[in-house]
Amino acid sequence: AALSTPGYLDRLNPEQRAAVLHGDGPLLVLAGAGSGKTMTLAHRVAHLIVEGADPRRILLMTFSRRAAAEMRGRVGRIAREVMGEKAEALAEGLTWAGTFHAIGARLLREQATEIGLDPDFTIHDREDSADLMNLCRHELGFSRMAKRFPAKGTCLAIYSRAVNARAPLAAALGDFPWCAEWEAELKALFAAYVAAKQAQGVLDYDDLLLYWAELAAEPELGLGARFDHVLIDEYQDTNRVQAAILAGLRPDGRGVTVVGDDAQSIYSFRAAEVRNILDFPAVFSPPARIVTLTRNYRSTAPILAAANAVIAEAREGYAKELVAERQGGLPPLMIRVPDEAAQAAYVCERVLEAREAGVALKGQAALFRTASHSAPLEVELTRRNIPFVKFGGLKFLDTAHVKDVMALLRLAENPRDRVSGFRALRLVPGIGPASAERLLALLAAPGGTEALRGARVPARAAAEWADFVALFAGLRAGHGWPADLSALRAWYEPRLELIHEDAPARIADLATLEGIAAGYPSRARFLTELTLDPPAAGGDLAGPPLLDDDYMILSTIHSAKGQEWKQVFVLNCVDGCIPSDLATGSRAGVEEERRLFYVAMTRAKDALHLLVPARFHVHNQAARGDRHVHAARSRFLSDAVVARLAERSWPPPPPEEARAAPGPRRDLAARMRGMWE
């Protein structure tokens, strides 16, 4: 048996096989979109397991929880080919597969006491973090300054940029020049913010990486020794803290594999550094082996040619032009439509047509730059009864009632968490901010739950208070999981019914939440994973009916990373959307938008539609209100790129006879409408 090579190696091309069979030294797979990087990574993991590696000692980092789950499934299927049944159990043992943040949270919880953290720490999402920042802002009196102090979201963004780039505040402020005058105050604010987090036993997203990097840098704490292999997908989108984690875990690079594509780096706004992947080989000595893959297996030749033309015009000059493995196929379409309503109608018609022809809805996706861009399409899909799931926009967890439930669970986990505490206590009618503040102080002290029982509360809250304390004490003691959530629902749902007309829909959401909860071993694990990687709106992971139904995918381009569909629509390929108005201020910003467009185009396997509406709606421009603007085709659709596309107008122009009817000599009505556009 030792002589026969496993069949799965035959499916790979020679470079992919070399990467899978590579030994122990550091390895970088640097290659373009659709060249099989993720597939190679899955084969490498499977091969390691087949060769006897312990799956529990393999650390595998992916871009989303979904990608990690997919990877485990693939590894199981590949290993099964040579190991049979037992492969699946082994793949289940890949418990350290997940996102950087989720894995960081688990490691920190396990080693919390060794590094001075409360093991029951709770995790704040971005919104909670901004709320805590705001509390600190108020307490320092900055929100009452005569000249307007930066808003909570901006403060958090500056803080996050500074810590993720491991840069001094002054350097981070380079990206926020209008805030530079506040450097001294911001410093004080951030010190208060860090102190508040520590006092309350909460970690924000950035802390998960920062503490992890510190932990990894201390060899005596033995973190590196827990893993034999460390593998990372999408390495181009890691930041300096993540690179430091890797260096801490594996100073000599042994057992390290990273894969990525510098032409697809799209997360600089989260302080991702494409230098990480470019510098990777030289970080180790002896230096890492580099494998490049040059064949694209995903897209047909005409789609790849158009995408290559877009990236060829990038200033950085990415060296690796891919060769299409799949010859034949139609050129991508550039569809001119009058407006976003027509854009939505076009997408629906093509989607239904493809479904008729046997392409499942799940094989089709509409991608857009910003979550709000899909609104007209969502309306049209709903009107036509086409099911869809949306990634990257408003999350299931962002709805108020789900947030309430999560806040209560978090408070039960960690009674010092003030942001969750405020939200949870305010669920009791009659408890206002001042009472909440006082009760939370009681709760944070030892024996806090007991103290709540006898606490003084406003007369209006008195009737409800005993019930609430009973619920909370039960949650604090723990009924088990997901029984805690059932107990919480039993308290909360009758109250929802009293307040909200749409209570049935909200109650259904909570039932869905309980369905999701059942998939987690413990309350802590549930809270952590859902906070870090919330399910998408409309059904990702959610219970029936969507789970086994067929549905189309709607996604921001950022969230579409690494995925592929037979038919892809890119909405709003117009200047102002792609590239986004927000990015056109700097050359680097525009270049990142180009890579983003390249990512969007390279998601398509068989059919790609680039939609160019003549007018589009500008949302939420606080100063100017909502309005329509005339749009120009995206600057990335240069003449050289358009030469590789087929151009169409939709709806098609009316036939000759219809056009022959004489219209008005001057369309004054249209001119009147035009004045307001």
Instruction: Return the residue of 33, 208, 469, 601 that touches ligand ATP, per CB under 6 A.
Output: 33
Token look-up 């022809």 returns 357
From residue 286, alpha-carbon distances to 25, 232, 389, 502, 627 in Å are: 8, 20, 47, 63, 58
* Degrees, nearest 5: CA angle 137-138-144: 100
Residue nearest to Mg ion (CB): 38
Residues 530-569 that bind ligand ATP (CB under 6 A): 562, 564
* Number of chain positions touching Mg ion (CB under 5 A): 3
Binding of Mg ion by 236 (CB under 5 A): no
58 binds, options ligand ATP, Mg ion, none, Cβ within 5 to 8 A by partner type: none
From residue 561, alpha-carbon distances to 2, 40, 255, 297, 459 in Å are: 38, 17, 25, 16, 54
Rounded-to-integer distance, Cα 122 and Cα 415, Å: 10
Binding of ligand ATP by 35 (CB under 6 A): yes
**Per-residue contact flags (x/-) with ligand ATP for residues 214 to 253, judged by CB under 6 A:** ----------------------------------------
b/e sequence 344-363, b meaning 16+ C-beta within 10 Å: bbbbbebbeebbeeebebeb
Residues 616-645 that bind ligand ATP (CB under 6 A): none
Instruction: Return the residue of 57, 82, 183, 297 that touches ligand ATP, per CB under 6 A.
Output: 297
Instruction: Return the residue of 26, 36, 332, 534 that touches ligand ATP, per CB under 6 A.
Output: 36
**Dihedral pair phi/psi, residue 647, rounded to 5°:** -100, 135
Which of 70, 14, 351, 56 lies closest to 227 in space, CA to CA? Answer: 56
Least distance to ligand ATP, CB of residue 548, Å: 22
12 binds, options ligand ATP, Mg ion, none, Cβ within 5 to 8 A by partner type: ligand ATP
Q: CA 393 from chain center: how many Å?
A: 9
**Dihedral pair phi/psi, residue 334, rounded to 5°:** -105, 115
Instruction: Return the residue of 8, 16, 420, 594 that touches ligand ATP, per CB under 6 A.
Output: 16
**Per-residue contact flags (x/-) with Mg ion for residues 324 to 343, judged by CB under 5 A:** --------------------
User: How many CB atoms are closer than 10 A to CB 328?
Assistant: 8
User: CB within 8 A of 217, min separation 6: which ones?
Assistant: 244, 248
Rounded-to-integer distance, Cα 156 and Cα 370, Å: 21
Instruction: Return the residue of 298, 369, 401, 609 that touches ligand ATP, per CB under 6 A.
Output: 298
Token look-up 């909405």 returns 571
Rounded-to-integer distance, Cα 203 and Cα 451, Å: 26
Binding of ligand ATP by 12 (CB under 6 A): yes
Judged by CB under 6 A, which stretch of 36-44, 360-368, 394-402, 424-432 contacts ligand ATP? 36-44
Q: Looking only at Cα atoms, what is the longest distance across the chain?
A: 86
Rounded-to-integer distance, Cα 400 and Cα 394, Å: 12
From residue 641, alpha-carbon distances to 175, 189, 266, 321 in Å are: 32, 48, 21, 15
Rounded-to-integer distance, Cα 677 and Cα 672, Å: 10
Judged by CB under 6 A, which stretch of 33-41, 70-78, 137-145, 630-638 contacts ligand ATP? 33-41
Least distance to Mg ion, CB of residue 569, Å: 21
Rounded-to-integer distance, Cα 590 and Cα 595, Å: 9
Rounded-to-integer distance, Cα 677 and Cα 670, Å: 11
Instruction: Return the residue of 15, 26, 30, 37 that touches ligand ATP, per CB under 6 A.
Output: 37
Residue nearest to ligand ATP (CB): 36
Binding of ligand ATP by 11 (CB under 6 A): yes
Length of the chain: 677
Rounded-to-integer distance, Cα 490 and Cα 474, Å: 12
Nearer to Mg ion, 37 or 124 (CB): 37
11 binds, options ligand ATP, Mg ion, none, Cβ within 5 to 8 A by partner type: ligand ATP
Least distance to ligand ATP, CB of residue 669, Å: 48
Nearer to ligand ATP, 421 or 562 (CB): 562
**Per-residue contact flags (x/-) with Mg ion for residues 351 to 390, judged by CB under 5 A:** ----------------------------------------
Least distance to Mg ion, CB of residue 554, Å: 20
**Per-residue contact flags (x/-) with ligand ATP for residues 254 to 273, judged by CB under 6 A:** -------x--x---------
Contact 208, 122 (CB under 8 A): no
Binding of ligand ATP by 38 (CB under 6 A): yes
Nearer to ligand ATP, 29 or 516 (CB): 29
Nearer to ligand ATP, 202 or 560 (CB): 560
* Number of chain positions touching ligand ATP (CB under 6 A): 19
* Helix 240-249 × helix 275-283 angle, to 10°: 20
Nearer to ligand ATP, 233 or 417 (CB): 233
User: CB within 8 A of 14, min separation 6: which ones?
Assistant: none
Least distance to Mg ion, CB of residue 260, Å: 8
Token look-up 């396997």 returns 605
Rounded-to-integer distance, Cα 610 and Cα 577, Å: 13
Binding of ligand ATP by 300 (CB under 6 A): no
Residues 35-54 that bind Mg ion (CB under 5 A): 37-38
Binding of Mg ion by 562 (CB under 5 A): yes
**Residues in contact with Mg ion by the rule CB under 5 A:** 37-38, 562
**Interface with ligand ATP by CB under 6 A: which residues?**
11-13, 16, 31, 33-39, 261, 264, 297-298, 562, 564, 602
